[in-house]
Structure 1
Amino acid sequence: NHDGIIELPADAPVGQKYVDYANINDVLIEVEITPNRGDCVSIIGLARELAAAGVGKLINPAAKPVPSTAPSPLPPLEQRFGADEPKTIRKFAGRVIRNIKNGPSPDWMQKKLLSVGMRPINAVVDITNYISHTWGRPLHAYDVDKLSGNPYLRNAKPGEEFLALDGKTYKLDETMCVIADDSGAICLGGIMGGESTGCTDETTSVLMESASWDPMLIAKSGRKTGIVSDARFRLERSVDPALTIEGMERATQLLLDICGGEACEPAISGEDDVPEIVIDFPFSEVKRLTGLTIGKSEIKAALTLLGFWVSGSGDVVKVAVPSWRTDIKIKADLVEEVMRIVGVDRVPVEPLPALSGVAQKILTPIQNRRRIARRALAARGMHEAVTWSFISKDQAQKFGGGGRETALANPISPELAHMRPSLLPGLLAAAVRNANRSYSDLALFEVGQIFLGDTPKDQRTFASAIRTGTAGLTGPGRHWDGKADKVDVFDAKADMAAALDALGFDMNKAQLVEQSAPWAHPGRAGQVQLGPKNILGRFGEIHPSILAELDIPGPIVGFEIDLDALPVPKRKNSVAKPPLNASDLMPLKRDFAFIVDGDVPAGKLLKAASSANKSLVSGVSLFDVFEGGSLEEGKKSLAIEVTLQPRDKTLTDEEIEVVSAAIIAAVQKATGGELRS
């Protein structure tokens, strides 16, 4: 409290350290407190822990009630909360002390506060800070003469401004509790008082407040306003509810001793509805959870030193939890307390169990599928992306979601308000960010969770990918030997087929139907399924309207595979590959052209040709599609190449003709087509 050089008296001993001369040589220890131990954010709380560990004896005499000399001039604080409004406060105790003489606090108190980094202000304020640091009970004092009417409790109004003791103005909302009078908010409950009723050296009457608040609501209000105060730090970690009245009594006595005055009767409103917690505790639980072998008497002693009340003499006792230990709820919590006190070093060291030399499989089937899908798509030149699981409602609706079931109750922002129904929105957003930085040719994939509803079965594992611009399988950009082709629907189909093949699924066993997903371009998309109710995946070109909204040039193609929908492959008797069964005979190739209706899918024709003679037909491929010309309107020509692989002997012309006739008959039966002459 000095500016410049401090002048010492003439009898100050030369050569002595100033900290020793001024008696400010206390040893300071910084302690990091975990969020669940609000009882340790005080000198008494730490002293209780040290005493339980065998370091000294705890001295904490109970506070004696201070006699009142007059009735309270203020009524108990009225709680003006709506029926649906959250009640931040549980109990409010207030006491008016009149005719005080405020001024500097005693030197011993100032030294205590300075040692913990608190700046002494005046006796009234210093007493509240001293009680807070010593017993962990935050208090607040109001100048009674500055009150405008009787104070009361209410929730703040939306946008209400509050000038706090730190000189800053904060905007409040309806989720925050304030103490108010006729002029407005005079205190942000449990966090910081207001400047309008602050105590100064001229204060002669104070209202000493000690209240019990809801820790969660205090934490929310603190985060919203950004105020970091000692009161908030303690109250959001929970404060012993038994200290509500005791803290007010201690502050009242100190105030009378230092500033004089007259104490009026306390005005109390609300109740601390904190149920007493009694746990049935088997002593065997210590051995079961920690391996410690400890006698019953030692366990009882450890709990008693920490303030627990132990009743009973059998193998199971009843343990009453003290009011300041709000973190103790179950038997395992008591085991932890015993282990802390007797010493973690006493926990016996046990070797890990010996395992077999050959590691067992540790991946679940879906984990294995995720890994295989990643490898397969990376092998096709794609880069893996990890995107948000949250998207906007508008995006979710465009990709088949956006219902109430997937809406977040407390979204970070409107752009992240729904759980994603597809991985494609995140990949497209990544493509937009890259395109804005001149990286317009991309091949990205992601394997992750999508959400179709709010039940566990609606959470699915998908593998999805996109290609943009010229990012085909051969790589993006221009080539010296030809024009760079834009990606199309067949690139997406090929990527999907490669991933399914790596996952052990034969595309030839699936149905390929021309059905567009909500995000796909009509007529440039397809669906792979095992029947109408078992959809394995979709592929196609992204709809132009989605690209226009994202302001990104097309084309962009993509696919998505439902990894959960893939059938489980049959278990093989051996992991060894079967022997190669290659024929010594040369294969034969024959071409066929069929005229079919324009709406007949090529896959239907290919499947019919393959099934005509499974022992000889080893491959069928489409190599030409023709419409118009001399063909009738509504007709098209599909040309296929059929590979015949003899096994035992070379085929004769007659045998080849028989197989060819079977192929023609199978196609005619399946499609109604005719052999083109």
Structure 2
Amino acid sequence: SGCSESTTSVFLEAAFFETVRTAYTGRALKINSDARYRFERGIDPAWTPLGVEAATAMILDLCGGEASEVVMAGAMPDHARAYRLDTDRIQSLVGMEIPEATQRQSLTALGFVLDGKMAHVPSWRPDVLGEADLVEEVARIASLTKLKGKPLPRVLPGVPKPILSPVQKREQAARRAGAALGFHECVSYSFIDQAAAALFGAGSDATRLENPISADMSHMCPDLLPGLLAAARRNQARGFADLALFEIGPVFSGGEPEEQDLQIAGLLIGRSAPKDVHASDRDVDLFDVKADALAILGAIGAPEKTQIRRGAASWWHPGRHGQICLGPKKTLAVFGELHPKILAAFDIKGPAVAFTIWPNEVPLPRNSSATRPALKLKDLQAVERDFAFVVDHKTEAMDLVNAAQGADKTLITDVRVFDEFLGGSLGVDRKSIAIRVRLQPIEVTLTDADIEAVGSKIVAKVASATGGALRVQNCKFA
């Protein structure tokens, strides 16, 4: 571009630029050129003087003239390197049997200089950086299509021991249980946008990505429900109103390895069944997801005796959810309706209920044997006794049930709420909760004195835990 018909002298330059420095400078100055593209990926440094000679010869052939001497500034970078050629390593790394002579011949044809057991890499191969790369070159020339699959030899005879960890087994059992319950499994990204992360208690710099794929994938996912809600929104936009989705995957509360946990989440939206002439369909409710959550917990080996408590995170409906707990401090799962603000933020139409399970919180069984314990039949007649307690209107029924259950853990096998009465003669701030307690004798039939003693323990335990007073009691044989 700088030459004309009157040009008589031409200055010809050929240069070699360092790879990493070229890449950094190009990105910093935002310069994109063919030269940058080539140099930052690596070119043959030995070709620089040859390139000057070739360009000079082309000018002399086309334009004539006389060439001066070549002046070199700086030193040619020394990229010479050699690696040991282990001809037996092709078997351990690739699994192919190639004779040593064939390996040496292949490398020689590719420009490598062999000196005994050492292979000198040609200057135009900046990608060869180790002994394993030599093996790769040999296998590539021999063609990996000739590779035949062979089973690994058994270390010990007989049936091999299971290799799945308890967490992997639980994940597999949960996946099969969810599919059996009619859910469709989703596999979503582990990244969400900042606004969605903030709705689920995250969105801070602790989970922010330095180099996100896109603006709507800027944070690590703190919960699986955002991904399920986004999938439900896309399906509803395409006319699918009734959905049952679940997912098993990691969630993140921070950027450290210990801040990652495994989670199982499920989402039900719309009607419980297709419309029919019997009008058997209805809106899904929290009892549907409660049954599903308990079924999956049972599949992964959770204890049968659990407690239902309130106090879940802010994205759950404050009055229509429950936590499945082992005591006050160990939460296994949460189920219930999602908060209306969450549904509005994700543009979800219709009733939506969900559950979240943390498999790592489920205690491992003490007995690892797959054999079932012996069946223990109880041939003595059980006794059921009804109690009605007057408590404060803010007292939760589960607190009363847990108190009654703990009065005598040996004889009391079940406690159920069957009635609740508010107002009337009790006043505005009081309510009556009626429970049915089942007593199962083990060795001898219970006498009236035994039943009265257990009843007194129940009354005292409930009064101590809730401040409630006995309203009425009734006894009958089951």
Tell me the TM-score normalized by structure 1: 0.60
Distance in 2, Cα, partners of 1:348 & 1:419: 41
Structure 1 position 461 matched with structure 2 position 262: yes
The two structures, once aligned, show a CA RMSD in angstroms of: 3.8
SS at match of 1:241: coil
Aligned to 1:148: none
Deviation digits for residues 290-339 of structure 1 (CA, Å, limit 9, x no counterpart)? 575866x886666445433445x6xxx54432211222111122234455
Structure 1 position 516 matched with structure 2 position 320: no
Question: Residues 641-652 of structure 1 correspond to what in structure 2 (within 5 A)?
Answer: 641-652=436-447
Given candidates 350, 371, 390, the residue that maps to 1:576 is 371
Deviation digits for residues 70-128 of structure 1 (CA, Å, limit 9, x no counterpart)? 87558899x9xxxxxx85469xxxxxxxxxxxxxxxxxxxxxxxxxxxxxxxxxxxxxx
Indicate how the Cα distance of structure 1 residues 387 and 303 shifts in structure 2: closer, same or farther if over 3 A, else same. Answer: closer
Aligned to 1:213: 39
Structure 1 position 553 matched with structure 2 position 342: no
Structure 1 position 330 matched with structure 2 position 135: no
Aligned to 2:294: 497
SS at match of 2:424: coil
Distance in 1, Cα, partners of 2:302 & 2:145: 55
Distance in 2, Cα, partners of 1:348 & 1:375: 34
CA shift for structure 1 position 357: 5.2
Distance in 1, Cα, partners of 2:432 & 2:245: 36
Q: Which runs of 5+ in 1 are unaligned?
A: 1-68, 80-85, 91-153, 157-172, 179-187, 192-211, 216-237
Q: Please tell me the residue identity of whatever aligns with 1:321.
A: V
How many residues align? The count is 461
Indicate how the Cα distance of structure 1 residues 242 and 671 shifts in structure 2: closer, same or farther if over 3 A, else same. Answer: same
CA shift for structure 1 position 281: 5.0
Distance in 2, Cα, partners of 1:422 & 1:497: 20
Distance in 2, Cα, partners of 1:342 & 1:547: 59
Distance in 1, Cα, partners of 2:171 & 2:39: 48
Given candidates 277, 288, 294, the residue that maps to 2:81 is 277
Q: Is the 8 A contact 2:12 2:52 kept in 1?
A: no
Deviation digits for residues 207-228 of structure 1 (CA, Å, limit 9, x no counterpart)? xxxxx5112xxxxxxxxxxxxx
Given candidates 45, 50, 73, the residue that maps to 1:241 is 45
Indicate how the Cα distance of structure 1 residues 517 and 347 shifts in structure 2: closer, same or farther if over 3 A, else same. Answer: closer
Structure 1 position 615 matched with structure 2 position 418: no
Q: Is the 8 A contact 1:405 1:453 kept in 2?
A: yes
Greater radius of gyration (CA): 1
Indicate how the Cα distance of structure 1 residues 626 and 553 shifts in structure 2: closer, same or farther if over 3 A, else same. Answer: farther
Structure 1 position 308 matched with structure 2 position 112: yes
Aligned to 2:360: 564
Aligned to 1:635: 430
Q: Is the 8 A contact 2:13 2:52 kept in 1?
A: no
Aligned to 1:669: 464
Deviation digits for residues 560-587 of structure 1 (CA, Å, limit 9, x no counterpart)? 1122332222233x42212221222343
Distance in 2, Cα, partners of 1:276 & 1:518: 63
CA shift for structure 1 position 424: 0.4
Q: Is the 8 A contact 1:547 1:554 kept in 2?
A: no
CA shift for structure 1 position 260: 3.6
Q: Please tell me the residue identity of whatever aligns with 1:605.
A: L
Q: Is the 8 A contact 2:14 2:51 kept in 1?
A: no
Given candidates 384, 390, 397, the residue that maps to 2:191 is 390
Q: Please tell me the residue identity of whatever aligns with 2:243.
A: L
Indicate how the Cα distance of structure 1 residues 189 and 667 shifts in structure 2: closer, same or farther if over 3 A, else same. Answer: same
CA shift for structure 1 position 620: 1.3
Indicate how the Cα distance of structure 1 residues 347 and 528 shifts in structure 2: closer, same or farther if over 3 A, else same. Answer: closer
Aligned to 1:538: 334
Out of 539-548 and 249-258, give the one that drifted further. 249-258
Out of 300-309 and 661-670, give the one that drifted further. 300-309
Sequence identity percentage:
42
Structure 1 position 445 matched with structure 2 position 246: yes
SS at match of 1:676: strand
Aligned to 1:14: none
Aligned to 2:476: none
Q: Is the 8 A contact 1:71 1:265 kept in 2?
A: no
Structure 1 position 506 matched with structure 2 position 303: yes
CA shift for structure 1 position 419: 2.2
Q: Is the 8 A contact 2:45 2:77 kept in 1?
A: no
Q: Please tell me the residue identity of whatever aligns with 2:122.
A: P
Question: Residues 578-617 of structure 1 correspond to what in structure 2 (within 5 A)?
Answer: 578-617=373-412
Distance in 2, Cα, partners of 1:647 & 1:551: 56
Distance in 2, Cα, partners of 1:458 & 1:271: 51
Distance in 2, Cα, partners of 1:351 & 1:374: 29
